[in-house]
Amino acid sequence: MAEVYISGKYVGTVDNAKEFIDQIKTERRLGNLPIDLNIQYDEDYDQVIIETSKGRVSRPLILVKDGKPLLTERHLQQLEKNEISWNDLVSQGIVEYLDASEEENALVAFYAEELTPEHNYLEVAPLAMVGFVTSLVPFGQHNQGVRMIQGSKNQKQAMGIYMANFHQRLDMDVHLLHYPQKPIVKTIMHDISNYEKHAAGQNLVVAIMAFEGYNIEDAIIVNKASIDRGMGRSTYYRPVFAEELRYSGGLTDKICIPDKDVSGYRSEKEYRLLEEDGIVFTEAVVKEGDVVIGKVSPPRFLSAIEDYTLGGTSRRESSVALKHGEQGIIDMVVLTETEAGNRLVAVKVREPKIPEIGDKFTSRHGQKGVIGMIYNEEDMPFTASGIKPDIIFSPHSVPSRMTVAHLIELLAGKVGALAGRYIDGTMFDSEKPEDLRKELLKLGFRDDGSEVMYDPVTGKRYLARIFVGDMYYLRLKHIVANKMHARARGPVQLLTRQPTEGKAREGGLRLGEMEKDTFVAHGASLLLKERFSSDSTVIPVCNNCGLIGIHDYRKDKVYCPVCGDKADIRFVEVSYAFKLLLDELKSLYVHPKLKLKLKY
Amino acid sequence: MTGKEKMLEKSEFKEFEKKLPKKVFETALQEFATLPKSKQKKAMELLVKQYLNSLAEPGECVGLVTAQSIGEPGTQMTLNTFHFAGVSEMNVTTGLPRLIEILDARKSISTAMMTIYLKKPYSEGKDLDVIARKLKAMHMEEFIEEISVDIASLQLRLKIKKQKLGDYDLRMDKISRILKKNFKNFDFKVDNEFIIAKPLTREDPLKQLYRLRERVKTVFVSGVKGIKYVLPVKREGEYVILTSGTNLKEVLNLEFVDGSRTRTNDILEVESILGVEAARQAIVDEVYDIIQRQGLNVDVRHILLVADTMCFNGKVQGVTRYGIVKEKPSVLARASFETPIRHFVEASVLGEIDSLNSVLENVMINQPIPIGTGLPRLVMKREEK
């Protein structure tokens, strides 16, 4: 008597659970029950669990009967001729989708050769156990699992050609690799997904060696000549928008070159790139601060004074300019309308990004790193045949991470490049590394891929042979130039007069609570004071009542709001935040009095 | 130092006596006695120099350095908190949760336990099982084999495990006396291995019996109250009893217990029975033990400072807004810790004055902090006119 649950709800019992389950499965295979219905028999609790709910992850498996897969040669031929499709296999009950619970009762064979009469399912392909991006890692069966996950995450951030119509799109924050290449070492997934149409990397000559110390801690050394020849070059696209908004009272924004009497007028130099319509021309070279779209808006508040004094409606400057640190070339100008019917101007700015120190690169095995140094070609070590590597990768990155496939790919890439063919590195179905080594030997190289190399400075032979090969490297979208930021002086917040936060607002780098403590622990009292003096102000304090006084600059008079003119006003230097605290206390009906005392 | 060794003459080194703490000076007198005569003075001078070097300088921010020195390894502790669960002896709360518990000076701690040292000959294993039984708090529940309510004769029949009773040096009539003391409304009679309870009043006897059936289980019979579990172990050649649950006061009264070494990990219990000084030492020992067990290395002096801060008001106070933070004289310092509005409101009602003396306030008003280089002041004589 097994209990039966459907989607977690108890529905009744069955006498013979096994028979019942077989019956359900047969019905499912016949198409009388949905294919995403899964059934499990839990022997420990004597329960039959049927699941039909959403959100379960299920995967396809080939059915096996008496040790023989139901999928036959004939099916494969038909599939190749396009006579039948995958869905036909599913509806014929040759392929079945199992979820995690039904898998508990299944014995799945990895390869067809391993089938025994006990098996009831066969894996469609061993590769199917990983996702799409992970299956792009060649020789993945030799890697540690964690590295496969990290490598997959890195691949998603790689530059490439993300869409064929990129030149007429206005996407935010786009990187485009200039010379993408097909990987020499590829997997079946590269073919299936048409990877060559949107490749995201380049085949580079990589040497695994420590060199001059600039590739410690996952950094890589790059050959300057390689960069000059186009390695890792990319373009960065960023759109800028301006909309002619409508306001109440029939007022609208206007896209034009602002008049000089507009409040907040920048300077003629900053508007120089605008054409008569107030929009930059294409191929204009723009720098930070340059206005890209000129725009004027009606005043924010229709205050009475402004209306009378200036006669007409005073207008406010609201042009779109390049922000701090931005530069580029105007790639495209688009004039269109928003859904609300407002005029919309979009300008695409393009900027070439040449690899520089600090830019991030990765192989497909989670071996990411930033450029630590760019050497001139003549300063790079070379092999006996005169090959100079594009990249020097540190050997210390390998042992602890156990990315064996990284090394195999390097070897396979070398074979592929020398033999002039693509290497199949499909996970679990790859070409055998032993065979590749034999082929390399036939090609006239050492079978382990190592070569004699020479020191570029002395010309002496290195005592150790260096492992050199060819592998697929990806440039990642994290570019220093977009992230680098520093500030000495700059904008402050209105409320606290402390520096703003974040790169976009040209903010400062906060010296926080714990950092402050380090100064205190060192007893660096005056340094601490100086570091926190960003909002230092001088306030007038009434010595009678202890309240903050008023300093009238126009009349050059100081007085106290309570004690009047006769008050004894002293000037005290405090942080503006403290003055704000006093003000906020007053708003709480707490009267904070300052009792002044001479310090020395 | 064992026995009477050679010791240098105090009078010869009088000049150093004032420069060194008493204990250091006396140890030096003993140690340096082995040196050749010519080098003794030089050694003393070196000692004074070393001693002065190891002192905290005036204006050194010891409190903050302590906070950092405990806080930094503390961040590593969060990761390996529960590693000690069930490894040996008993399940004990260690690591960060225990550290927080101690520093907060919690009233009830999660695993109270005692380490009971025994006097000779008991420490050599004599009557160990008897002692263990005497310590463990036994309740009726553990002696009852079966309880049945006899509805017909309106009786409650307790079948007692006689064997076990004998182990604990108890007899049936003693049990019945204890029960009688606890339940005045019942009459208890011993009948071979049964104890039969009969209600004395006629009021709803059945209900009374059912109530009794539950309550009788929790009656305390023998041992020390609060000691839930006893575990004798051999430690460094002698037998020691570890317990779960504490009752320092009663344990110290037992004649076989070595009261000078017996200890509990309940700091507030130590305070109430042995006083603050003992509690201070208990804090130091407990915190040091936790840090050592985690494989971290923190200088004892940091822990001593924390313990001193927790105890210097004459009672153990936690490092919380109800404890030592409440004792801070500065309004701004208290307000910047937790619940600022409450502190501002209370300070304004009382008309408190903040003399802006400590670090925090001076950071707030952007003035040099009175620590390190901000501490010394230049004093000058005014020129008379």
Name the band, by pLDDT with cuts 50, 70 and 90, for residue B86. very low
Residue A243 vs residues A252, A295, A543, B312: alpha-carbon distances, Å: 10, 9, 55, 68
Question: In angstroms, how far is CA B188 from the centroid of its own chain?
Answer: 42
Phi, psi angle pair for A181, to nearest 5°: -125, 155
A136-165+177-233+357-475 CATH fold: 2.40.270
Beta bridge partners of A424: A186
Per CATH, A136-165+177-233+357-475 and A235-353 having the same topology is answered no
Higher-confidence residue of B80 and A496: namely: A496
- Per the CB < 8 A criterion, the answer to whether A138 and A428 are in contact is no
Higher-confidence residue of B288 and B121: namely: B288
| A105: CB partners within 8 A, 6+ apart | A21, A40, A41
Q: Which residues of A touch B346 (CB under 8 A)?
A: none
pLDDT at B81: 47
At A166-225, the pLDDT tens digits run 989 999 889 999 999 999 999 999 999 999 999 999 999 999 999 999 999 999 999 999
Residue A107 predicted with pLDDT over 90: yes
pLDDT at B258: 92
**Measured distance CA(A511)–CA(A519) in Å, rounded:** 10
B185 is written with which tokens?
A: 């409304």
- Per the CB < 8 A criterion, the answer to whether B177 and B243 are in contact is no
Task: Examine residue B121 and say whether the peptide bond preceding it is cis (omega within 30 degrees of 0).
Answer: yes
- Residues of A tagged active-site: 218
pLDDT at A232: 94
Please give the mean pLDDT across all residues of chain B: 86
At A49-105, the pLDDT tens digits run 999 999 998 889 999 998 899 999 999 999 999 999 999 999 888 999 999 999 999
Higher-confidence residue of B2 and A566: namely: A566
**Measured distance CA(B317)–CA(B103) in Å, rounded:** 8
Q: Do A575 and B359 touch (CB under 8 A)?
A: no
Q: Do B374 and A523 touch (CB under 8 A)?
A: yes
A417 is written with which tokens?
A: 């490049």
Instruction: Compare CB distances from B369 to A525, A573, A581 and report the shortest one's residue.
Output: A525
Instruction: Note if the pTM is more than 0.90.
Output: no
Higher-confidence residue of B261 and B384: namely: B261
| Nearest-by-CA chain B residue for A588 | B345
| Nearest-by-CA chain A residue for B377 | A600
Name the band, by pLDDT with cuts 50, 70 and 90, for residue B1. very low
Taken in order B266, B268, B274, B278, is the CA torsion positive or negative?
positive
**Within the 318-377 window of chain B, which residues sit less than 8 Å (CB to CB) from chain A?**
341, 344-345, 348, 353, 359, 363-375, 377
CA distance A535 to chain B (A): 9
At A124-142, the pLDDT tens digits run 888 888 889 999 999 999 9
Q: Do A536 and B370 touch (CB under 8 A)?
A: no
CA distance B65 to chain A (A): 6
Q: Do B372 and A525 touch (CB under 8 A)?
A: yes
At A12-53, the pLDDT tens digits run 999 999 999 999 999 999 889 999 999 999 989 899 999 999
Please give the mean pLDDT across all residues of chain A: 91
Local structure of residue A128 (DSSP, 8 states): G
Give the percent of chain A with pLDDT over 90: 76
Residue A309 predicted with pLDDT over 70: no
Question: Which of A17, A154, A57 is closest to A477 using CA atoms?
Answer: A154
Instruction: Compare CB distances from A590 to B60, B65, B344 and report the shortest one's residue.
Output: B344
Residue B93 predicted with pLDDT over 90: no
Q: Does B75 touch chain A (CB under 8 A)?
A: no
At A393-452, the pLDDT tens digits run 999 999 999 999 999 999 999 999 999 999 999 999 899 999 999 999 999 999 999 999
pLDDT at B78: 66
**Measured distance CA(A351)–CA(B174) in Å, rounded:** 96
At the second CATH level, the architecture of A235-353 is: Beta Barrel (2.40)
In the chain, the amino acid numbered B193 is E
Hey, of B365, B375, B377, which one would you mutate to test binding to chain A, going by the most A CBs within 10 A of its CB?
B365
Q: Do B345 and A590 touch (CB under 8 A)?
A: yes
pLDDT at A459: 93
- Inter-residue long-range contacts of A156-161, CB under 8 Å, 24+ positions, other chains counted: A157/A476, A157/A477, A157/A478, A158/A200, A158/A201, A158/A362, A158/A474, A158/A475, A158/A476, A158/A477, A159/A200, A159/A234, A159/A474, A159/A475, A159/A476, A159/A477, A160/A198, A160/A199, A160/A200, A160/A201, A161/A197, A161/A198, A161/A199, A161/A200
Pairing of strands A185-186, A423-424: parallel
Question: Which of A226, A151, A158, A228 is closest to A198 using CA atoms?
Answer: A158
Half-sphere exposure of residue B33: CA atoms within 13 angstroms, side-chain side: 14
Beta bridge partners of B118: B257
Instruction: Compare CB distances from B344 to A520, A528, A588 and report the shortest one's residue.
Output: A588
**Measured distance CA(B311)–CA(B325) in Å, rounded:** 13
Name the band, by pLDDT with cuts 50, 70 and 90, for residue B83. very low
> Could you tell me how many residues make up chain B?
385
Question: Which of A170, A164, A166 is closest to A334 using CA atoms?
Answer: A170
Name the band, by pLDDT with cuts 50, 70 and 90, for residue A301. low
At B314-349, the pLDDT tens digits run 999 999 888 888 888 899 999 988 888 889 989 999
Name the band, by pLDDT with cuts 50, 70 and 90, for residue A338. very high
The domains of chain B, with CATH numbers, are: 18-54 (no CATH), 62-111+265-327 (1.10.1790), 138-222 (3.30.1360.140), 328-374 (1.10.150.390)
Instruction: Compare CB distances from A526 to B67, B359, B373 and report the shortest one's residue.
Output: B373
At B151-205, the pLDDT tens digits run 888 888 888 888 888 888 888 888 888 888 888 888 888 888 888 888 888 778 7
In the chain, the amino acid numbered B69 is S
Q: Does B68 touch chain A (CB under 8 A)?
A: yes
Query: What is the helix (H) or strand (E) element at residue B179, kind and residue range?
Result: helix B172-182
Residue A455 predicted with pLDDT over 90: yes
Q: Which residues of B touch A532 (CB under 8 A)?
A: 363, 366
pLDDT at A444: 94
Residue A498 predicted with pLDDT over 90: yes
Domain ranges of chain A: 2-124, 136-165+177-233+357-475, 235-353
Question: Which of A363, A362, A406 is closest to A139 using CA atoms?
Answer: A406
pLDDT at B193: 84
pLDDT at B90: 55
> Could you tell me how many residues make up chain A?
600
Q: Which CATH number fits domain A2-124: 3.40.50.300, 3.90.1070.20, 3.30.450.20, 3.40.50.20?
A: 3.90.1070.20
Hey, of A513, A528, A573, A581, which one would you mutate to test binding to chain B, going by the most B CBs within 10 A of its CB?
A528
Q: Do A526 and B367 touch (CB under 8 A)?
A: no
Q: Do A591 and B348 touch (CB under 8 A)?
A: yes
| Nearest-by-CA chain B residue for A516 | B363
Question: Interface pTM (ipTM) of the complex?
Answer: 0.78
Pairing of strands A2-6, A47-51: parallel
Question: Which of B161, B164, B192, B190 is closest to B177 using CA atoms?
Answer: B190
pLDDT at A148: 94
Q: Does B63 touch chain A (CB under 8 A)?
A: no
Q: Which residues of A touch B64 (CB under 8 A)?
A: 517, 520-521
Q: Which residues of B touch A529 (CB under 8 A)?
A: 366-369, 374
- Per the CB < 8 A criterion, the answer to whether A196 and A182 are in contact is yes
Name the band, by pLDDT with cuts 50, 70 and 90, for residue B91. low
Phi, psi angle pair for B174, to nearest 5°: -65, -45
pLDDT at B208: 83
A226 is written with which tokens?
A: 């390689």
Beta bridge partners of A99: A58
Give the percent of chain A with pLDDT over 70: 98
| B107: CB partners within 8 A, 6+ apart | B268
CA distance B19 to chain A (A): 26
Instruction: Compare CB distances from A521 to B64, B353, B374 and report the shortest one's residue.
Output: B64
